Structures are given as C-alpha cells and as structure tokens.
Amino acid sequence: MRFEFSATYYALALVTGAWAAPSVTPRQANPFQTAAITDFAEPWALAFLPDNRILVTEKAGQLRLVDPVTKAKGTISGVPSVRYGGQGGFGDVALHPRFSENSLVYISYAEAGTGGSGAAVARARLVLNTSGGGALQNVEVIWRQSQKVNGDGHFAHRILFDSNSTLWISSGERQQFDPAQSMTSNLGKIIRLNDDGTAAAGNPFTGGTVQSQIWALGIRNPLGIDWDEQGRLWEVEMGPMGGDELNLIEKGGNYGWPIVSQGNHYDGRQIPKHNTRPEFVAPKAFWNPVISPSSLIIYKGNLFPNWKGNAIISALGAQGLVRVEISGNTAREAQRIGLGRRIRCVRQSADGALWVLEDGAGGRLLKLTPR
C-alpha cells in the first residue's frame, strides 16, 4: 500500500549515464491563472471531444460530459459495471484517433471475476443527445488483464493511442510482484495492440496470446504514459517505499521490477538498486521520498513555450504538478508547483492550456493558463 503524503521538499535522483547525487527542488510559486469549471465524485481521467466538451470518468462508474463554457455537466449512460474499491473502479477514457469518423471511445475499468478483480479495456460508440448527455453503445471488451487477483491495488490501466491508431495500455502488477517478470502474464507490462484489441504486428515477443501483446516488462504501477515529439514513449510509475520512476520505454525493455528498484519494501527490506543489475533498464529520473505520480503528459503546446518537451506529472503525494526537463536521454526535475490538493490527472488541450482533476470526493476540474 502506498503511503502518500505531502512535504515541502523531496529528493530527486537523476540518471545521466551514471547515478547522480540527489538534488532537492523546493516548491515554487504557482505560475497559473486557475479557472474552476465544476466538481465530481472521485474523478479519475478526462478526454477532449472535437467540440471542446470534456469527458470525465468518476471512479464509482459514472461517465460525465462537461461543457467548459457553460459549466453544464451531463451523464453518459452505458458504462459497464465496475469493481469499485481501493484503487479500483472506472479508470481512463480516450478517443480513437479517427473519432470524427467512427465515434469510438475507449475506457478502462476494474471488473470483478473468478479469483478477484482485474483491469479491462472496452470500446464503444459514443452517441450524444441534445440534452448535454448521451450513451455508450455496442460496448465491447477488447482486452483484459490475464488473471483476476484479490486486492484493490495497482490496476494502472492508462490508455493511449499513437498516430497509427495503435492502442497502448499500462498494466499494473496488481501488487503481485512476480507476474511483472512473467511472459505468461500481462500484469506489470506495457501493452501494444491494434485498435480491435489484437496483438499489433512488430511487437518484440512472439508465442502465446499474452506474450504477443507485450512491448515492455518489469513495470510496477504505471499511471502515466505519453509520447514526446520524437515519437518516444515515456512512462511514470509509483515505486514501493521510495523509488517512483520516470522511464523511457524501449521495445522489449525489462525495467526490473520486482528484482530491482530505487525504493525498498514497505516492511523495510531492501531491494537491490538498478546499478547492481545493468541488464535492466534504469529510470531516467526517480524520487525518494515519493511524489506519488498519477498521470503524465509531455507538453507540446505554446501557452508555456519554455515547457515544450517537458514531462508534466500530476502528483498525489506532492499535491500538485512536477515538471521534468528532458534533454536527449536524460531527465531532471525542474519545478514543483503546489496546487494544495492531490492531483489525479493532467491533460493538455489544443490551445496549450493545462487541465487537471483534483483527487477524491468533490475533486474539481481546473483549467490552468499562464498568469
């Protein structure tokens, strides 16, 4: 279980070819003008429609539709039954890259089943009505975690498309440790699929149905994935007691969990560090103590021109946003912006503004623009 907390200072270690000494970045002045749109019951993720309205998921199983101009909030029916509890519930939402042609949206959620619960991804046709709401139609589950387990942690289930309409899923290891290294399990992996849920051509591993889905392995609780402008995939994940990671995801890469980590087990047992096992891909940055990352974007807009190419991480424990400068294959924390509340999700709109969801009951949707 993650002990999430807020503190004024956190130590950050960087990967720069060799392990750098930890540095400390203080919280810095809030650079944002903030507009509160509306609030939700435990919001988790958001996605922008072409008409600038916003889909927002609520953990207990509601999909909401928000007009950011009028602040009206409607409901989208047809969401599958979710297994709500702990970290589990309704998760991510993403539009198909050809949404304007096919009206397809993709959702992730925790579902109950034999042996416990597990993450699932479904696609459906979004049909909007004239009353500010709508429905999901023809809901089809296209991917599931390969096993249901007891407990309510580490689903992760962030979803992302690339420009070729290939679907990427971050699959947590469900606090089961060893499946992250198993090629017969899709827990603790980065998954790459066609938009219908079948394994995409060119994946690094062949064999059974599960193995052919896997792009990278040795992942713990990956709660954020995004592309940079070079087409590289970045991932942020929660470590154990210490050791939150920012990773550059390589085809076929093994990131070492649970064999290595920059943190330790919650009972105090030490875990070997990455530099003891060079066959595993080391993080580009890590945090100890943790920031408790919850989502990730690589900023590509113009409203904050000095931030282009930076990773913007929403943080639960750090209660705000963490900005990381990326230069080639290296990364370093550059700024920590406190927002006064645990932040569950950050996204960028077409105009370059940042939009965040506060975590928990009454969590607000905020639009952040420069002061």
Active-site residue, 96 included: no
Kindly name the residue from 154, 157, 265, 274 that is annotated as catalytic. Answer: 154
CA angle 320, 191, 168 (to 5 degrees): 60
- Cis status, amide bond into 258, omega within 30 of 0: yes
Beta-bridged to residue 94, according to DSSP, are: 106
CB-based contacts of 201, cutoff 8 Å, min separation 6: none
Contact 277, 197 (CB under 8 A): no
Angstrom CA distances, 242 to 130, 151, 204, 318, 339, stand at: 49, 21, 30, 13, 22
Which among 305, 319, 326 is positioned nearest to 356, based on CA atoms? 319
Residue that has been written with the tokens 């713990």 in this structure: 220
Q: How far apart are CA 288 and CA 10, in angstroms?
A: 7
Largest Cα span, the chain: 60
Beta-bridged to residue 315, according to DSSP, are: 293, 320
Q: How far apart are CA 328 and CA 67, in angstroms?
A: 38
Centre a 10 Å sphere on the Cβ of residue 303 and count the other Cβ atoms it contains.
15
Percentages helix, strand, coil for the chain (3-state, rounded to 5) are: 5, 50, 45
Contact 292, 315 (CB under 8 A): yes
**Which phi and psi angles does 337 have, rounded to 5°?**
-115, 110
Q: Which residues are catalytic?
A: 154
